[in-house]
Structure formats: C-alpha cells, structure tokens
C-alpha cells in the first residue's frame, strides 16, 4: 500500500514550465517520517525519468550559539532560531525557482561540527524537481517557495514514540523534556495551520498503510 500512496503523490508533482525547476516540500512535525517519505518520493520520480535534487532543512541550521540564545529548553527559541531561512531561500529555493540560475548549494551547515558551509555550488538540470524535507516549511519566510506542499499528518503520541526509538527522548509528548519541540510545533500550528495550507495531506500514522486525505484538513 505504501508504494501506491507514494506513486499517487508523485502523480501530483507538477510538470515543469519551460526549463524551470519544480519545488516540492515535505512538511510535518518531528518524527512524522519526512526524511523517509521524501526519499521514497524522490526514488519514484527518478524511476519516472525525472531529475531530482534532494535537500533537507536539517542541513540549514543556524549556528549553535544562535539556536540556543533563548535557552536550550526554549520552545520559542526552537521556533524562531533553529534554521537559516534567508540562506535557504537565497541558495536553494530561489535559484531553483522560476527563472532561477539552477545553481544551488546542497548544505549550509554541519550540525555535528557547527561549521557554516559555503561551497560548492551545484548545477541542477533543466526541469529538475527539488524535494525538500523538514520542519516548519510553511512558515511566512518561505511563502511562495514551493509548487507543491505535502503535509505528513501524525499525532504527537505517535511521533514522540518514534523519536524515543530514534533519539532516546521521552515517549510522552507531555514530558517537560519534550516541550522545546512540542511547544514550538504547537506555535507553528497556531500561526500557520500547516495542514490547511498544504496541497496534499498524507496520514502517515501507520507507516505500512499511509493514505492521502481527501482535500485539506480544515
């Protein structure tokens, strides 16, 4: 069932206009399965003969001092200071947008070393598809940057359990140790209602049997 759903989503990826690239966002909360879904979508598109550029917002963090300036447990800090949206726009989304140069930088920051990365630039082919996965992709700073937005809908109870297996965090989304992440994501919900803005909503609660929700979740 999962391959069929990925194929259905791939059917919705727009055709390019002229030589312009097509930009696709895979959005969702921590633990929703964004990275895996983005990789599966990219593989399906490549199997159809489309060139794909894969980028993750996790490679565009702010430096550590900036990320934690409001405190290491601050939900506001996680919401406001995690990612360098100006560079992401300038070095990925705009070059791969309408009339762009198609020269992009695949990574802007090394999370392990905290190094700011400044090269090299790569050249995407004409009509390539950018698949960008990550948190908060429908915030105001990125308005107008995507031709297709996918929201992976998964309840916090499930995503917290997945994060516990992946990262060793608490499986309880109400645990104080989780509030930096859950609190920031609730702010995102309140300010942007991302499921209602997305072009496609995929319920990814059951990893073996995701499904495309009919319409948007209003």
Q: Which CATH number do you get for residue 34?
A: 3.40.50.300
pTM of the model: 0.94
Domain-embedded: residue 218? no
Domain-embedded: residue 51? yes
Domain-embedded: residue 89? yes
Domain-embedded: residue 110? yes
| Number of structural domains found in the chain | 1
- The residues with which 23 forms a beta bridge, in sequence order, are 130
Domain of 53, in residue numbers: 2-213
Domain-embedded: residue 208? yes
Q: What is the pLDDT along the chain (218 residues), one digit of tens a residue?
A: 899 999 999 999 999 999 999 999 999 999 999 999 999 999 999 999 999 999 999 999 999 999 999 999 999 999 999 999 999 999 999 999 999 999 999 999 999 999 999 989 999 999 999 999 999 999 999 999 999 999 999 999 999 999 999 999 999 999 999 999 999 999 999 999 999 999 999 999 999 999 999 654 44
Domain-embedded: residue 79? yes
């Amino acid at each position: 069932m999962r391959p069929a759903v990925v194929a259905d989503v791939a059917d919705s990826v727009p055709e390019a206009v002229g030589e312009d690239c097509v930009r696709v966002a895979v959005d969702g909360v921590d633990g929703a399965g964004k990275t895996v879904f983005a990789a599966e979508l990219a593989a399906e598109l490549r199997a159809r003969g489309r060139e794909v550029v894969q980028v993750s917002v996790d490679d565009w963090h702010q430096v550590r001092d900036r990320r934690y300036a409001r405190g290491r447990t601050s939900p506001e800090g996680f919401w406001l200071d995690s990612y360098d949206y100006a560079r992401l726009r300038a070095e990925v989304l705009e070059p791969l947008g309408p009339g762009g140069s198609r020269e992009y930088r695949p990574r802007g920051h090394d999370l392990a070393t905290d190094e700011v990365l400044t090269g090299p630039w790569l050249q995407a082919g004409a009509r390539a598809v950018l698949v960008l996965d990550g948190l908060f992709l429908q915030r105001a700073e990125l308005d107008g940057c995507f031709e297709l937005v996918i929201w992976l809908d998964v309840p916090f109870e499930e995503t917290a359990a997945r994060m516990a297996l992946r990262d060793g965090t608490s499986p309880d989304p109400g645990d104080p140790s989780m509030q930096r992440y859950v609190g920031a994501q609730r702010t995102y919900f309140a300010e942007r209602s991302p499921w209602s803005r997305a072009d496609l909503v995929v319920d990814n609660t059951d990893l073996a049997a995701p499904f495309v929700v009919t319409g948007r979740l209003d």
